[in-house]
Amino acid sequence: MTYLTVSGPYQLDVTQREEPYRPAPDGVVVDIVYTGICGTDVHGYTDGHMLPPAVFGHEWTGRISAVGAAVKGLRVGQRVVGGVGPACGHCPQCRAGHARQCDTAFAEANGVDPAAPPHGAFAHRVAVAARRAIPVPDALTDVEAALVEPATVAFHAVRRAAIEFGALAVVQGAGPIGLLTAQHARNAGAGRVIVSEPSPSRRETALRLGFTDVVPPEDLAPLLAAASGGLGADVVFECAGVASLFQPSAELVRRGGTLALLGFPLTTSTVSYGDWQARELTVIGSLAYNHDDFLATMQAIASRRLDVKALHTATIPLSGLREMLEELDSGASPQTKVLVDPNA
C-alpha cells in the first residue's frame, strides 16, 4: 500500500508499505475510497511543517477491513467517515461540565490524540481509533460521504452562531466551506443569505445551489446596505481566511450583530477593539466539530436539505496529488472540491 506525506515546503514523499496494518484492540483499519483535498492540506504542503501528519488528508471515507478485538458496533465492510468520537467524560473540560469542548475530541480533530495514525488518508488505508470511525447512512453515496467532514465544519460554525429566524446573513468566500455554510445558514432559518466571492466559477456554483444574492466583493457593500436599510448584516460568516478581511468583515455587521469566523488566516490580523466594543459585536470562533455535528450533517445530506455533490468538480488518482495541490495553491484553479481516489 502507498501513502503520501509532507516533509518540508513543497516536498511530497511517497512511501510504500509492505506489511499490512493491524488494528489496535480499540481500533479499526479502513480501506480508503475517497479523500477530499482541503485548503488546510494545501497550506500544509506549501508550509511544510504546520500540520500534524494525520491531518494531511483528513477528509476521508472508506470501508472497514479489520476490527480490533475490543471494538463493538462496527464490522468489516461497513462504510465510515473519519470524524471525532463522543465526549470522553474524563478530560478536564468534560469533568468541568463542558462536554462540547471535550479535550479528547478536540485532539482527535487536530490529529494529536495518542491514537493518531502516522499519516493521513492520502493513502490506500489508515488505522485509526474506532471512536473516530463514524458509520455512513445507506442514503449517502460514496461521493457524498467524502464531503461529510467539510460539511460538518460548516454545520458546527452555523450552530455556534445561533442564527435567529429571518436573519440577514453574509457569507464571505464561496469555496467549499463557504458554500456549505450558506446552505446550513439557509437551513437554520436565515431569511436572506448574501454570498460574496471573487471567482466567477464559484459564484456560478452558488447560483446553482439556489442563492440569488451572489456578488463579487466590490458589489457586496451596496447590496448589503440596500438589503439592511444601512444597518448591516445580522451575522457575517468569514470563510475566506484572509487576515486583511478581519476588520472589514466586522464592519459589515450591524450594531449588536455577530461575526462568525471559519476561515483560518496564517498571519496575524489587525482589528479595532474600540469599534467592536462600541458596536457590541459578538465574535465567535469556530474550529472543527463535535461528534453529534457529524450525525446531524449526515441526516441533512440524507434528507436532501444539504447538497454536497454540487461542490464535487474533479476526482484524481494519488499520483496526481502534487500537481493538484500546486494548482489549488495558485489561486487560479476553477476547482471547488477535488477528491482523491487511491484505487484509480
Domain spans in the chain, listed from the N-terminal domain onward: 2-147+309-341, 151-285
Q: What is the full per-residue pLDDT of the chain (344 aa) written as tens digits? A: 999 999 999 999 999 999 899 999 999 999 999 999 999 999 999 999 889 999 999 999 999 999 999 999 999 999 999 999 999 999 999 999 999 999 999 999 999 999 999 999 999 999 999 999 999 999 999 999 999 999 999 999 999 999 999 999 999 999 999 999 999 999 999 999 999 999 999 999 999 999 999 999 999 999 999 999 999 999 999 999 888 888 999 999 999 999 999 998 878 888 999 999 999 999 999 999 999 999 999 999 999 999 999 999 999 999 999 999 999 999 889 999 999 999 99
For the chain, how many helices (H) and strands (E)? 12, 15
Matching residue, cell 455535528: 293
Residues comprising the chain, all counted: 344
What SS3 state is found at 85?
coil
Question: pTM of the prediction?
Answer: 0.95
What SS3 state is found at 143?
helix
Distance CA 213, CA 196 (A): 8
Q: Is residue 19 within 8 Å of 29, Cβ to Cβ?
A: no
CA angle at residue 185 from 268 to 211, to 5 degrees?
100
Matching residue, cell 448591516: 232
Matching residue, cell 476526482: 315
Enter the CATH code of domain 151-285.
3.40.50.720
- The arrangement of secondary structure in 2-147+309-341, i.e. its CATH architecture, is Alpha-Beta Complex (3.90)
Distance CA 328, CA 42 (A): 7
Q: Which residues are catalytic?
A: 40, 43
Residue type, 270: T
Contacts of 96 (CB under 8 A, 6+ apart): none
* Ramachandran angles phi, psi of 66, nearest 5°: -155, 145
Distance CA 225, CA 231 (A): 7
